[in-house]
Amino acid sequence: MDLSGKVAIVTGSGRGLGLAYAKALAAAGAAVVVNDIDAAVAQAAADEITAAGGKAVAVAAAVGSSETAQTLVDSAVAAFGRLDVLVANAGVLRDKVVWKMTDEDFDLVTQVHLKGTFTCARAAIVRMKEQGEGGRLILIGSPAGQYGNFGQTNYAAAKAGIVTFAKVWAMELSRDKITANAVVPVAATAMTATVPFLKPYVDAMAAGEPMPEFARRELAFGTPEDVAGLVVFLASDDSAGVNGQAIGIGGDRLSLYSHPDQIVKEYAAGGWSADAIAAAWPQQFAPSQQSVGEQLPIPPTA
C-alpha cells in the first residue's frame, strides 16, 4: 500500500493503538502529525518514526477544543503542505457505575472522545474541502459503543456517537470525495489491561508470549499492530468506495457491523394502547429482545 504524498493527523498517537496507526501510515509513505497530551511522549513517537525513515512532527495538546483541532491542521499544512487523512483516536477512560459517575467523569470522556472527534474532523474537513481533492476521516469506535459495557456510561455513549458521526458525514461529504468510516478495534493496550477478562492476555503479550489462538480468533484480540492495516487501507485510494461503515478488527478477525434495524413489526388499527402492548409483548416481542453487553465466548479449559 503506497501512501506517498499523503499527510495524516493521528490524535492520541504517542502510545498504544495510536502509535501503531502512526507508524503504519508512515511506513506506507504518509507524512504524519503525531499528537499526545504529553510533549515528551509525542516527540519520542515522532522521533521513532523519523529514525525508521518516515516523516513526522509532534504536536503536544489535549484533544477536545476547537483550538487544538485547528493547531493540528495548521501543523500538518505548515510541515507538509496539505492534509489528506485524519485518524481521530485520542481517548481517556473514567469508568464508574452510573450512580457513582461524577459530572467531571462524564464531561472529560465525552470531551475527548466525542467532542474531540467532532472538532478535529470539522477542522480537517474545512481544509480538505479547500484542497478539493477528497480525503479520509477514520474515526475510532469501540465494542462498548456497539453493545454497551458495564461501568462505561460515558465511554460507550461517546463511542456510539462516533459511529453515527461516520454515517452522517458519509452522506454530507460524499460530493467532496471525503469518506468517513469508523474502526472498531480490539487490541492489547493500557486501556484493555483494565478489563479483568482481557488482562491475562495483555500481560502475556507484554512478557513476550504469543497470543493464544482463542484470543486472536474467538475474542478478535491481538496486538495494536494487528489493527493498523485497516487504518492504512482506509487512508488509501483503494478505499474510495468504502463510506459510512463500522468495521471491526482485532487479532485474526476482520468484520463489518450492520446498521441497527427493526427486527419485529406488529400493527394495531388506530394505534397501540398500553394494555394492547402488554398483551402483545410476551408472544410477539419478548422472544426477540436483544442482549446487552458483548457476549464473549468462554475460554477453553486447560
Annotated active-site positions, please? 142, 155, 159
Paired sense of beta strands 31-36 and 135-140, if any:
unpaired
Distance CA 60, CA 74 (A): 13
- Which residues, 6 or more positions from 40, have their beta carbon under 8 angstroms from its beta carbon? none
> Cα Rg for the chain, rounded, in angstroms?
21
Phi, psi of 27, deg, nearest 5 = -65, -30
Q: Note the Cα 2 to chain centre separation in Å.
A: 23
SS3 state at 111? helix
DSSP category for residue 76: H
Please report, for residues 83, 216, 271, the alpha-carbon distance to residue 77 in angstroms, rounded to integers and kept in the order given: 6, 39, 57
Note whether 9 and 76 are within 8 A (CB).
yes
Note whether 51 and 44 are within 8 A (CB).
no
- Which residues, 6 or more positions from 259, have their beta carbon under 8 angstroms from its beta carbon? 167
Distance CA 166, CA 121 (A): 10
Cell of 270: 388506530
